[in-house]
Amino acid sequence: MGLRRALARLAAAAEAPVFPVIGAGGRSVAGEIALLGGVRVVDSPRAANVLLVVGGITPGLLAPLLQVHDQLPTPRATVWWPGEPVEHQDLRTVLGEVVVARPGDGDTLRGVFAELVGGGRLSDPPALPDDEPAEWRGVGPYGQGGTGMTGGVPYGRPLAKRSPDPDGLELDQLPLRIGPMFPPLPPGLILDIALQGDVIREVAVGDNPFLGHPDGPAPAGLDTALFLEAARRPQPVATIELARARHHLRWAAGTLRLHGLASESLRVLRLARALRPEHALEVETLARRLRGRRSLSWATRGVGVVTPAQVGFGPVARAAGVAVDARLDDPAYDGIGFSPVVNDGGDARARLRQRLAEAAQALDLANRAGARVRQPGPALEGPRGPLSAGEALPSAALVDLLPRLLVGQEWGDAMTTVASLDLDLEEAAAGARAGAPA
Amino acid sequence: MIRSGTVDIAFWMFSAGSVVAAWLVFRTDSMVRAAYWLLASFAGVGALMVLLNARFLGLVLVLMMAGEMTIMAVFMVMFMMNPAGLNPMTMVHQHRTAKIAGVFAFAGLALVGLVADFPDRPADARRDPTSDLGRELLGDSMLVFETAGVTLLATMIGAIAIASKRGRYGDAEQGSAPPALEEKPPEPAGMEH
Amino acid sequence: MRWSSPLGAVVLVAGVLSAGAYVVAVLDVALGRLTAAGHLRLRHALRQPLDETALLLLTRPSRTERPDAQAWALAPALLGAMAAAAVATVPLGRGIAVADVADGIVLFGAAMAMVMVAVYLHGWSANSPMPLLGGYRFIALALSYEMPLALVLIAAALPAESLSVGAIVASQHDLWNVVRQPLGLPLYLIAGAGLAFWGPLDTADGPDLAGGTTAEVSGPSRVAWELARRFVLVAVAVMGAAVFLGGWQGPMLPGPAWMALKTLVLLAGLVWMAHRVARVRLERFVVVAWTVLIPLALVDVFVSGAIAL
Amino acid sequence: MTLQALLVVGAALFGIGVYGALSQQTFVMIMMGLELMLNGAMLAAVAFWAMSSGGAPKGQLLTVIIMTVMAVEAAIGFALIIGIYRIRKADMTEKLKRLRA
């Protein structure tokens, strides 16, 4: 027992491995989790001891959440940061031992972890019964055999269907459903994929888990809430532009992490958290440095090309060389020297450069705008595209683009592409409701 | 004849391991296991070669086979009706004939090995077999070595030609028979086992 | 102690590997923190790998749906054993080697080829899509690593006229191979980092696969796998120090100290690379490997051969 | 470790290889049988080299040749599998009862 206690003492000082699940209204806090002291965000639930549920759990998210919960190895604990207001399923009624804390509260999280490791807290029991997913019909240990060569249906799974691969061979496809809590994808995105090797042959976007309940997500919970608010009420230009820069930097941090630059990503997140208009130079330097990072452009060049015909708005279109920007027609931006940044190529590299350049430009604008206040009326250029009352929000159109973009790509390229589009499924759901931002 | 306690123990270990692994290749119902049992069998023979002082050859055998068996495993996963190899299966036919042939082959060869009188001239342990081999390959037998090299090159080119999609006269599938899988309905139960 | 005796061998190899793995972990934490926050807390960096290991040891291993349990358990053992075999061939000082055998370089090559088997086995046997994809990816790249690795090692063996690592070290008495064959070390490090699926070549365990071959392992199995993987990295660095940086030879300091220093330099370089360079794109890297790296390695062999004549 | 014992081990490997090559349906498994046969042959060749030929370098050369044969067999085998699969969508011998194109 002595060894166990010694191990527990060491382990309690370790960084708490956390697997975050982002629910409704959780996006705005999500960027902060990685910066909490003594907390480490991990890529797979198997590597975590603490499940951190951020925001509200919609009916569509509940079943996957329970599965993810049971994938955490014991000892495990669940911490819930409910969004405000608590409008969805109360997690405590489904998962017994849930610690509820204020969003962003790292100390409680650390406390739960220390208690868990120290033995003062029991590990969460599984939420789902450990049942076989299908009736056992095979003979061999893996469900093979039975009558005939391929006997029973192995483990309730259908046999793979065949389809031609790029080399003209008829090969099996592996049907696979990923999401809505697959870390490389934006929270809530479900993809039904048919894979050959690691090449994607078919893609269908699954049901949006944020859709389908009476009210739909509240615009207040969106990570673009500030912009939606600004579309309706007067708002200082400096505030809008600062939020834009912060949004783009947080997105860039996620992209860096996906490309294996986790420590660099933390640095960018840190910058985003404390972002002020005075940081214009730092963001400029960051944009220049990442632009010059050969390996990064190597990994993103030519990946996920979006043409202006496919998307005609927002940073995605500007990265493809079209100078569209709602700020051009916005009187609030008259006379402060605004002209849209554009890139060419329309690939993931162009979008990375585009957003970094826009972040730098936004801080520059924030400095120059002074006390200028934007009046509601014309469409407002949000971080993903124009927001105006009664129209679909930008994410919805971008999500629809996915199947066409992803087919034929290798897995890594597909993840790069999805990340480079900066999707928000919650925004897509909100946009699907008529007149959402109003 | 090489004698020493440790070597003998090692010999029995590796040879038993190699034969058992070889047998398991055809007993397992998992494609990847089959390939890696075969690799284990090769590794056993490689170890025996090292024991026999053919160190270079033994190590090169392991080096070569690690790659080849992995490719084999991937090929099996690729070409068998399975969700990307997540569900393995077994299939054997003409079992009795094969068994008899195997036993006969073993008995015949073993008999020759046991009965025939081979000269007992062990290799000189003080010589370095690796440098011997090197001098042989680049000396007297250079032509043989070169031939092997050219053969491998020709094989590579030939293999690519056979496997590639586009042949000299258009696509490889042109004029081919209809796919066997769709030609007749799948056989009912009772394929040979 | 006789280093080739069983006890001596275990002490030496296990000592080198675990010390190396610890150093890698500390460097990783330290460099990560330096990049992320611009400063570094040495105590934290020294402690964190131990804390994290303790936590994983207290965590229960996870189960998947019908895995190939034996193969899953075997894979980390195989990976670690191959790293150990590779380290055993390297002399760490004058006469300090477990098995400075006549064909040491070939043994190293064979061990590194078996790494491919271990990684694929680990990915495949979890019976889960993400690890499987990780395994596929590793094979797709591993064949591109093995070629340049074998070629630059052959080139390094040419001036020594021997396949023994000890002889290769001795042949660098006057001039290190890193100077004599400037192409060798960079190519070797790229291939070596790839075999340890480290840093920018970490396609098998990358975050875009939610951890790839490690996506389904937790607890002690995770410790075993991560350790084994770092062992491979250490083995690569130790061999690199011996074959390209003159091994234990150097003025003033004793042999093992020089060896440790040189290994540390290579490890630091590899860790730095992991924090600095973005993960490669699979397709593009294979093209580069076959059109640039392998031809360069061939040039290395030809030039070294011509000089050795 | 005697020559006889080594030859018996080689014969066992060869015999298992014969069994495998005849009993399996999948092309890849048949190739495995062939490789095992070559494996046995290689062991015998090395055994003769080490114990019966006085370590003549030509003995090792024979092993090198067997390895070459294995490599050739594997490469051509895989290529043929792909070729046949492309044309006939077959991965098992049973499906190739009619071998005319």
Q: How many residues does chain C have?
A: 309
Q: What is the mean pLDDT of chain B?
A: 76
Which candidate in B87, B91, B92, B165 is best for mutational testing of the A interface (most A CBs within 10 A)? B87
Angle at which helix D57-88 crosses helix B142-163, to 10 degrees, equals: 10
Q: Helix, strand or coil for residue A389?
A: coil
Tally of structural domains, chain B? 2
Query: What pLDDT, on the 0 to 100 scale, is given for residue A434?
Result: 43
DSSP letter, residue A161: P
- Same-domain status, B2 and B64: yes
Pairwise CA distance, residues A361 & A284, whole Å: 8
**Cα dist from D87 to B72, B178, C103, D97, whole Å:** 21, 8, 45, 14
Question: Which residue did the predictor score with more confidence, A264 or A152?
Answer: A264
Least reliable range by pLDDT among A22-26, A420-424, C200-204 = A22-26
- Nearest to residue A380, comparing CAs of A253, A277, A257, A239? A239
* pLDDT tens-digit series, residues C217-260: 888 999 999 999 999 999 999 999 999 988 888 888 888 888 88
What mean pLDDT comes out for the span D7-19?
A: 90
Which tens digits make up the pLDDT trace of A310-321?
888 888 888 888
Task: Answer yes or no: do B59 and C109 touch at CB < 8 A.
Answer: yes
Q: What are phi and psi of D14, to 5 degrees?
A: -65, -45
What pLDDT, on a 0 to 100 scale, did the predictor assign at position C272? 92
Residues B81 and B142 in one domain: no
Taking the Cβ of residue D78 and every Cβ of chain A, the question of whether any pair is shorter than 8 Å is answered with no
- What residues of A are in contact with residue C218 (Cβ under 8 Å)? 46-47, 73
**Number of residues that make up chain D:** 101
- d(CA C67, CA C78) in angstroms, rounded, equals 18
Interface test mutation site (partner B, options D58, D64, D70, D94, max chain B beta carbons within 10 A):
D64
Alpha carbon separation from C16 to C90, C105, C143, C192, C234 (Å, rounded): 11, 19, 28, 18, 8
Q: How far apart are CA C201 and CA C194, in angstroms?
A: 5
Longest dimension (CA), chain D: 52
CB B59 within 8 A of CB B157: no
Cα distance between the two ends of chain B: 44
Calculate mean pLDDT across residues C129-154.
Answer: 88
Give CA separation, A292 vs A245, A412, A422, in Å. 20, 22, 22
When pLDDT is averaged across residues A368-378 and rounded to a whole number, the result is 81
**Residue B74: closest C-alpha in chain D:** D28
Q: How many CB pairs under 8 A join B and C?
A: 69
Q: Which residues pair with A17 in a beta bridge?
A: A40
Is the CB of residue A329 less than 8 Å from the CB of residue A400?
A: no
DSSP one-letter code for C207:
G
Q: Does D82 touch chain A (CB under 8 A)?
A: yes
The pLDDT score that the predictor gives to residue A134 is: 57
Q: Check if the beta carbon of residue B79 is closer than 8 Å to that of residue D28.
A: yes
D3-96: CATH architecture? Orthogonal Bundle (1.10)
A/C interface, count of CB pairs below 8 Å: 160
* Touch between chain D and chain C: 3 or more Cβ pairs under 8 Å: no
pLDDT at A248 over 60: yes
Q: Do C68 and B67 touch (CB under 8 A)?
A: no
Amino acid (one-letter) located at A376: P
Q: Does domain A2-118 have CATH number 3.40.50.970?
A: no
Rounded Cα distance between A238 and A230, Å, is: 12
Tokens 């009912």 locate to: B188
Domain that holds residue B60: 1-88
Tokens standing for residue D45: 């060749």
Structure tokens at D14: 């060869």
Residue among C92, C59, D87 nearest A75 (CA): C59
Q: Fill in the amino acid letter for A422.
A: D
Q: How far does A174 lie from chain B, in Å, by closest CA?
A: 5
Do A380 and A227 form a contact (C-beta atoms < 8 A)?
yes
pLDDT in tens, C29-38: 998 888 888 8
In whole angstroms, how far apart are CA A93 and each of A81, A87, A300, A326? 15, 14, 44, 45
Residue A113 has pLDDT above 60, yes or no: yes
Q: Evaluate if residue D82 carries a pLDDT over 90.
A: no
Rounded to the nearest 10°, the torsion over CA C15, C18, C22, C25 is 150
Q: pLDDT (tens digit, 9 = 90+) per residue, A187-199?
A: 888 998 888 878 8
User: 3-state secondary structure string, B66-95?
Assistant: HHHHHHHHHHHHHHCCCCCCCCCCCCECCH
**Predicted confidence (pLDDT) per residue in C94-121, tens digit:** 877 777 788 889 999 999 999 999 999 8
Which residue on chain B is closest to C136 by alpha carbon? B74
Name the E strands within D1-101.
Answer: none
Average pLDDT estimate for B13-27:
89
Q: Does residue C66 belong to the interface with chain A, where contact is any CB pair within 8 Å?
A: yes
- State pLDDT tens for residues A300-357: 888 888 888 888 888 888 888 888 888 888 888 887 888 888 888 888 899 999 999 9
Residues in B touching D78 (Cβ below 8 Å) = 71, 75, 159, 163
Helix axes C42-58, C220-244, angle to 10 degrees: 130
Per residue in B128-184, pLDDT tens? 888 888 888 888 888 888 888 899 999 988 888 887 766 555 565 555 444 444 444
The residue-averaged pLDDT of A233-256 equals: 89
Q: Where are the domains of chain A?
A: 2-118, 219-432
Burial call C278-290: b when 16+ CB within 10 Å, e when fewer: bbbbbeebeebbe
- Asked if A160 lies within 8 A of B91 by C-beta distance, the reply is no
Average pLDDT, chain C: 87
Q: What are phi and psi of A162, to 5 degrees?
A: -105, 155
Q: Is the pLDDT of residue B123 over 80?
A: no
- Note whether A143 contacts C: Cβ–Cβ < 8 A: yes
The separation between the first and the last C-alpha atoms of chain D, rounded to the nearest angstrom, is 52
A169 touches chain D (CB under 8 A): yes
User: What is the separation, in whole angstroms, between the first and last Cα of chain C?
Assistant: 40
Q: Do C110 and B56 touch (CB under 8 A)?
A: no
Question: In chain A, whose CA is at the least distance from the CA of B179?
Answer: A170
B20/B74 same-domain check: yes
From A40, which residue of chain C is nearest by alpha-carbon distance?
A: C52
Fold of A219-432: Cytochrome-c3 Hydrogenase; chain B (1.10.645)
Mean pLDDT of D47-60: 81
**Per-residue pLDDT for A149 more than 70?**
no
Give the CA count within 13 Å in the CB-facing half-sphere of A74.
9
Number of Cβ within a 10 Å radius of residue A159: 13
Taking CB atoms and an 8 Å cutoff, what residues of chain A touch C62? Answer: 46, 71, 73
Contact A106, A114 (CB under 8 A): no
pLDDT at site B141:
83
Q: Please tell me which chains touch C, using 3 or more CB pairs under 8 Å as the contact test.
A: A, B
Burial class (CB in 10 A: 0-12, 13-18, 19+), B158: middle
Q: Round the CA-based radius of gyration of chain B to a whole number and report it.
A: 22
> Do the chains contact at D75 and B75, CB–CB below 8 Å?
no
